[in-house]
């Protein structure tokens, strides 16, 4: 029989030849999850596999759990694609079956001529039984709930943003240049003026009198910007855009209350003294407060984060309150999931994936990743680019040599290492200024040159500065 005519072992329900590879998980199953059906594969007698198809309703998910328990299955592997895996994951975990959540890239290449759902679940089961799959990181259930709420809050803010642009567009159509009079049209002065316009006020001087005392523009300057054409169609658009903005603002406030309740319900699994026994937190860093976190809000983000982590990670340069809680909700508080800091930065895709052949590196890149924690660290690195801190000095020095993109990734890598050691060893962050970093860098360079000169049989001696009188 020719090679092209050889039967496909997967089509016959047989496991592809794995001679020489020991079976690590003899009671392992594999699942391919779709929108309308779920295919589950378990080991059969001998070198065969048994595949069954199930629906996606709740009763079908419990039927899968019962079938796996009846056949002595202890662990099952599934891809973390989309959101269809979440209900099955929760049902199986509740039934005492360990779920190995894997990335879709690990089982993407199927050694078969055709791709079907049956072949996918068979191949996943084969890889899982041989111990060739790496389980994806998943935080605790309490942090998963917090993460879901924070992601939902970010989506609400994203949905509110277009309506701010709609208000600005409607004002510009009427030549009401409120955007030039105030720095933010959704600030105290901007919203007060917009609400008065929607209420029917057209006098520029009365509208300008609503300015906040801290506004840099005078009333006369604001009044000039508020003189325009009042067209009914644009006023209608302005009214509806303001209503949408207020609606999403109320939803964000309700989400803040739910986040506060979730924070309070989480109990750290390490000995934590009472909040009253701790030293008070230092004041917030300048510019660390986000406009999306109202000043008068019941959420005490820093206090909750310190109670959960044991340290104040908001003290790290570049980490605002938004980024800090985003990172904690994505990576969790138990750093034992990552044996070393290298494992942590590798999971974040913040270290290069070096491909070496013949002793030479042919490719070195971090690759693409949708890891939200990675994105948060990259945002933190971008925020310190012009700051007077050690991370900022490191970024600027590296930017001049390799460019802004690589400098941002390297700075994010450095910030991630700091956060890892803070969470794992419960140590506080001691900020370092740019001047201190430059001095430490100079001292390291001098020691390196001295060691190199000593190996060559020379001795370095300092020279007086140019222009100095000896």
Same domain, 188 and 311: no
Percentage of the chain beyond pLDDT 90 is 50
pLDDT value at residue 106: 66
Instruction: Give pTM, 2 decimals.
Output: 0.80
Of 236, 265, 294, which marks where a domain is finished? 265
Bigger pLDDT: 201 vs 110: 201
Residues 239 and 352 in one domain: no
The answer as to whether 380 is a domain residue is yes
Looking at the structure, do residues 409 and 288 belong to the same domain, yes or no?
A: yes
Domain at 95, CATH number: 3.30.420.10
pLDDT category at 269 given cuts 50, 70, 90 is low
Residue 285 or residue 302, greater confidence: 302
For residue 12, CA distances in Å to 48, 49, 108, 118, 160 come to: 8, 9, 21, 11, 54
How do residues 136-192 score in pLDDT, each as one tens digit? 888 888 889 999 999 999 999 999 999 999 999 999 999 999 988 898 899 999 999
Quote the Cα angle for 258-261-263, to 5°.
Answer: 110
Average pLDDT over residues 1-13: 37
Grade residue 286 by pLDDT with cuts at 50, 70 and 90. Answer: low
243 occurs within a structural domain: yes
Is residue 287's pLDDT more than 90? Answer: no
Buried b (16+ CB within 10 A) or exposed e, 381-400: bebbbebebbbbbbbbebbe
Residues 290 and 299: their CA atoms lie apart, in Å, by 13
Residue 318, in any domain of the structure: yes
Looking at the structure, tell me whether residues 151 and 260 fall in a common domain.
yes
pLDDT at 183: 87
The CA distances from residue 78 to 110, 133, 269, 417, in Å, are: 15, 10, 29, 31
- Inform me whether the pLDDT recorded for 404 exceeds 90: yes
CB 118 within 8 A of CB 39: yes
Q: Are 68 and 97 in contact (CB under 8 A)?
A: yes
Residue 208 lies in a domain: yes
Residue 10 predicted with pLDDT over 50:
no
Q: Does position 1 have pLDDT exceeding 50, yes or no? A: no
Q: Is residue 20 part of a domain?
A: yes
In a shared domain, residues 354 and 283: yes
The tens digit of pLDDT for each residue in 100-118 reads 998 877 666 555 556 788 8
Question: Over the Cα atoms of the chain, what is R_g?
Answer: 30
| Mean pLDDT confidence for 197-210 | 92
Q: Which pLDDT score, from 0 to 100, does residue 445 have? A: 87
Q: How many CB atoms lie within 10 A of CB 130?
A: 16
Domain match, 279 and 417 both: yes
If you average pLDDT over every residue of the chain, what do you get?
85
Which domain range does residue 123 map to? Answer: 7-129
- 283 in the same domain as 259: no
Per-residue pLDDT tens digits for 418-430: 999 999 999 999 8
Q: Which of 127, 158, 120, 366 is nearest to 252 (CA)?
A: 158
Strand (E) or helix (H) holding 61 = helix 58-70
156-160, 205-209, 359-363, 413-417: range with lowest mean pLDDT: 359-363
Domain contains 162:
yes
Of 428, 421, 415, whose CA–CA distance to 373 is shortest? 415
Contacts of 371 (CB under 8 A, 6+ apart): 330, 347, 348, 349
Candidate from 7-16, 330-339, 350-359, 386-395 with smallest mean pLDDT: 7-16
Are 415 and 279 part of one and the same domain?
Answer: yes
Both 317 and 345 in one domain: the answer is yes
379 shares a domain with 250: no
Specify burial of residue 301 (Cβ count, 10 A radius: 0-12, 13-18, 19+): buried
- Give the chain's domain count: 3
The pLDDT-based confidence of 282 (bands split at 50, 70, 90) is low
Answer whether residue 97 is part of any domain: yes
**449 compared with 15, residue with greater pLDDT:** 449
Q: What is the pLDDT of residue 285?
A: 62
Task: Give me the count of residues in the chain.
Answer: 470
According to the model, what pLDDT value does residue 337 have? 86
CA 146 vs. chain centroid, Å, equals 13
Q: Please identify, among 265, 289, 323, the residue that sits at the C-terminal boundary of a domain.
A: 265
Q: Picking from 129-133, 211-215, 313-317, 461-465, which range would have the lowest pLDDT averaged per residue? A: 461-465
Q: Is the pLDDT of residue 253 over 80?
A: yes
DSSP class of residue 42? Answer: E
Establish if 203 belongs to a structural domain: yes
Locus of tokens 């901007």: 190
pLDDT value for 18 = 58
What are the CA-CA distances from residue 283 to residues 256, 280, 287 (Å)? 22, 9, 12
> 231 and 148 in one domain?
yes
* Structure tokens, 79: 């891809």
Lookup: tokens for 346: 């590798």
Answer yes or no: are the C-beta atoms of 187 and 164 closer than 8 Å: no
pLDDT > 70? residue 295: no
Considering the domain architecture, whether residues 69 and 161 belong to the same structural domain is answered as no
Is 278 a residue whose pLDDT tops 70?
no
């Amino acid at each position: 029989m020719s090679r092209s005519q050889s039967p496909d072992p997967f089509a016959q329900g047989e496991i592809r030849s794995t001679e020489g590879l020991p079976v690590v998980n003899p009671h392992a199953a594999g699942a391919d999850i779709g929108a309308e059906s779920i295919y589950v594969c378990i080991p059969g007698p001998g070198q065969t596999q048994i595949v069954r198809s199930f629906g996606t309703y709740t009763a079908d998910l419990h039927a899968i759990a019962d079938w796996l328990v009846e056949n002595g299955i202890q662990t099952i592997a599934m891809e973390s694609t989309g959101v269809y895996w979440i209900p099955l994951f929760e049902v199986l975990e509740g039934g005492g079956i360990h779920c190995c959540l894997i990335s879709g890239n690990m089982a993407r290449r199927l050694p078969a001529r055709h791709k079907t759902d049956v072949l996918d679940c068979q191949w996943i089961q084969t890889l899982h039984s041989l111990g060739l799959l790496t389980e994806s990181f998943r935080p605790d259930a309490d942090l998963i709930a917090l993460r879901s709420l924070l992601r939902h809050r970010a989506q609400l803010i994203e949905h509110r943003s277009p309506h701010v642009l709609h208000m600005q567009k409607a004002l510009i159509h009427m030549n009401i240049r409120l955007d030039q009079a105030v720095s933010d049209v959704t600030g105290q002065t901007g919203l007060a003026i917009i609400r008065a316009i929607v209420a029917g006020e057209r006098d520029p001087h009365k509208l300008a009198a609503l300015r906040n005392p801290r506004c840099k523009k005078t009333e006369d300057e604001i009044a000039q910007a508020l003189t325009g054409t009042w067209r009914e169609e644009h006023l209608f658009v302005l009214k509806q855009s303001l209503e949408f903005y207020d609606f999403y603002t109320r939803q964000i406030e309700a989400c803040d209350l739910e986040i506060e309740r979730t924070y309070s319900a989480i109990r750290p699994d390490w000995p934590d003294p009472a909040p009253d026994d701790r030293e008070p937190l230092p004041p917030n860093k300048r510019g660390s407060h986000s406009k999306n976190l109202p000043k008068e809000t019941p959420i005490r983000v820093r206090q909750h984060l310190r109670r959960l982590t044991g340290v104040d990670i908001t003290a790290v340069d570049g980490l605002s309150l938004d980024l800090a809680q985003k990172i904690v909700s994505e990576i969790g508080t138990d750093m034992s999931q990552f044996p070393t800091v290298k494992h942590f930065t590798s999971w974040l895709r913040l270290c290069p994936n070096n491909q070496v052949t013949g002793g030479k590196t042919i490719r070195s890149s971090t690759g693409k990743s949708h890891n939200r924690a990675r994105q948060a660290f990259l945002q933190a690195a971008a925020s310190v680019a012009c700051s007077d801190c050690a991370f900022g000095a490191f970024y600027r020095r590296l930017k001049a040599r390799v460019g802004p993109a690589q400098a941002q990734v390297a700075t994010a890598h450095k910030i991630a290492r700091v956060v890892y050691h803070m969470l794992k060893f419960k140590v506080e962050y001691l900020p370092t200024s740019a001047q201190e970093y430059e001095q430490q860098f100079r001292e390291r360079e001098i020691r390196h040159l001295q060691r190199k000169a000593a190996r060559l049989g020379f001795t370095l001696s300092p020279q007086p500065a140019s222009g100095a009188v000896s």
